Amino acid sequence: MPGVQSDIIEDASEPKSYGYAQFVIKLLVAFSIVLIGTVTFVIWVSINQLTEQASAGQRASISVHLTAEEHRLRDTIATALALEAPISTRPAQADTQVTPLMLSRYVNEIQKFSYAFTLSPKDELILSTQDGAVLEPRLGAPLLVYARPLIEQLRGKAREGTPVRRQDPDNLQPALSSQGYVRINGRPYLVTAALIPTPLSADVQQGREQATFVAFKQIDASYFQSLSLSSAAEIALAASCRNTAPDLNCLEKKSISGSPVFAVTWPKGVTNVALVERTIFLMAVVIVILASLFAIFFVRTQQIQRRFRINRDRVAFLAFHDALTTLPNRALAFDRLGQMIATLRRQQKWVAVHALDLDLFKTVNDTYGHAAGDELLQAVAQRLLSLCRSTDTVCRLGGDEFLVIQVVEEPAQAARLADRLVAEMARPFMLNFGSVKIGCSIGTVTSDDVKAVPDDLVLQADAALYKAKADGGNSVTFFSEDLDNAITLRKAHENALRAAISGSAITIAYQGMFDATGRCVALEALARWRAPDGSAISPNEFMRLAEESHQAIDLGRLILEKIAEDTQNLSEVRICINLSATQLHSIDFQNLLVEFIRDRFSPQCSFELEITEAALMADAAKTRATIDKLRKAGYTISLDDFGTGYSSLTHVREFDFDRIKIDNYFISSVLEDRLARFMVAAIAQICHSIGVEAVAEGVETEEVRALLAGLNINLFQGYLFGQGVAGSDIGSFFEEGSLATKAR
């Protein structure tokens, strides 16, 4: 009795395991205390350093923005004065104060300065304004006292050199200016003083005094909001940093004399005190938890023994159920199906088998990860259970394949359930990582034959499912005899392709890519395959067959081996290799491509990977990382068949292609179809503007080639230059009088 013997062995080993477990848990508890304490200290130190670094970065950012704004305001005034200098300094004319007033209002209303003053060369107040309105001299004169040090500093600079003059109306020189901060009645102001440049006609001597323009701008909350600072809402003003709270950062601005004018304060984010308190609290919680666990260990030692016993009920459950979704598995599904068929002997009913496959599950799995895929499968299982009766059986066969088995009164009842399943599975799933919308395909078979075999019914449901997916998915297909024949033929093609790959029966034809002079600049490797009956199968068809039958990687490996064999004696040539979506996103095939370019070819050869937009529709970040990996390995990247499918300019912008190949759908009708011609011209212009080469595919006549050349397309490919040739004839592309020259 194996089961009883197993129990005896288990019970005999438990006391030793129990003592060993005690020692291990004590050791783990001690180690955990030391480890958590160390980690807590490191976290505390790291957060403290990060807080200081963040404060320094914020301080630097605010300082840079303040300095940039100071320079902007100063340069704006200096430039404006340079523009208006010939008018503002004309003596004894009726419009003497017109231009100063215009400048003052410009400074007040546009640049938001509170006050603006114009002084004569003898420091006489010519004009004063406040917020765009003229201010009486007696009211404005007291404010100039605060700007006097700045004016004197400015005039000192002027005495050391030649005054700025407007030499040429088209070559302006900004006025000499200076800036500083002052505090007036408890409010900080930014003061900008500038000398008004003398006109060309004035008799200016070295050191002669010039007219002065002075402007005051109040520093308040609106000033910082205009700086586009991310922390503008948290900034506050203070008189100085002397009494700043410890939880605030502070940046102080001073006057020319060095006394504080104002200070900018903003929160530190997380204070050191808060960090210490949080760390102490965390350590206390950890110690309490560890102490509790240690106490529980001694109180409940008997429970540890049970952890070593096998849960027989759980093992039995997992033997017939899926561990992820808890649905019945394949073994239980076939058992239930057999029981349902047996009931047909006593009831005049039908048994229905629905094979269900999720349409976009792989995209979700690749985009969001396996954890998200598992969560989606669990949600699908719950939705299926909610849609079926308690007498129905919902099973998970594996991957994203499910099976629904039921006994129905008539086949129409099964059809109604299948339609309801498709409709409900198309509704979005609200998951932890977001909302996703997938859909499903269903193959259904019904039978009232009491001698039906469960395996045969499931195979027929699978055949109908295969047809539903081939028709585009998100639909229901009922099994029929014709469908059985089509599936048999499909399986035969899959087996034939598998044999062709294993037997190296796939051949490679090379089609040249030519420039405007007729010189071959690249070769595109095109896979060719003939079915066992001798009929040629189009590359699109057998590539799709390879993708759906999981043979794309083996096919790609064979193509690379053929290319290596055919081009081993070539040099200074670019070989273009087509990649499918499966090959592009396969880590193994990516590594194979890297190894291929590294080990098998000389540096004189270059290689280009042609990718269609369909292969780019997965996770953009992962796709970009894959393309970067292949580009670093030495490949150039081209976008194939552009103009059909998605035709997304986003892909052109995001993935930085070296070449864009315009699909022959447009090229073939470019002579007759004006719209096609305009679209080709637009694509060519986009390529030219962003520095990407445009390649025209499907060029079959000289007239088309000439027209495309006029549209700024300089690379051509198509039957005009000859059909694909075998690897042994590649040299003909590079000989004098080659296919291109003959075609021309």
**How many other β-carbons are positioned within 10 Å of the β-carbon of residue 269?**
15
Selection from 143, 144, 142, 126 nearest residue 134 by Cα? 126
Calpha distance 151→181 (Å, rounded): 13
Q: What's the alpha-carbon Rg for the chain, to the nearest Å?
A: 41
* Residues linked to residue 515 through DSSP beta bridges, in sequence order: 715
**How far are the Cα atoms of 335, 382, 387 from residue 444, in angstroms, in the given order?**
19, 21, 16
| The two structure tokens encoding residue 384 | 């299926």
Long-range CB contacts (within 8 A, 24+) of 583-588: 583/552, 583/553, 583/556, 584/611, 584/615, 584/623, 584/626, 585/366, 585/615, 585/618, 585/622, 585/623, 585/626, 586/553, 588/553
Calpha distance 217→240 (Å, rounded): 19
* DSSP H helical ranges for 122-217: 137-160
- Annotated catalytic residue 400: yes
Instruction: Return the ∠ at Cα 409 (arms to 405 and 412), rounded to 5°.
Output: 80
Residue 583's SS3 state is helix
All residues at 6 or more sequence positions from 347 whose CB lies less than 8 Å from its CB, including other chains: 407
For helices 370-387 and 411-425, what crossing angle results, to 10°?
Answer: 140
Q: Are 329 and 320 in contact (CB under 8 A)?
A: yes
Instruction: Return the ∠ at Cα 741 (arms to 664 and 538), rounded to 5°.
Output: 35
H or E element that contains 417: helix 411-425
**How far are the Cα atoms of 672, 689, 699 from residue 710, in angstroms, in the given order?**
16, 16, 14
Q: Which of 322, 357, 400, 640 is catalytic?
A: 400
Residue 396's SS3 state is strand
Q: Are 511 and 524 in contact (CB under 8 A)?
A: yes
Selection from 289, 395, 258, 286 nearest residue 38 by Cα? 286
Calpha distance 591→422 (Å, rounded): 39
Selection from 133, 85, 126 nearest residue 107 by Cα? 133
> Which positions are catalytic?
400
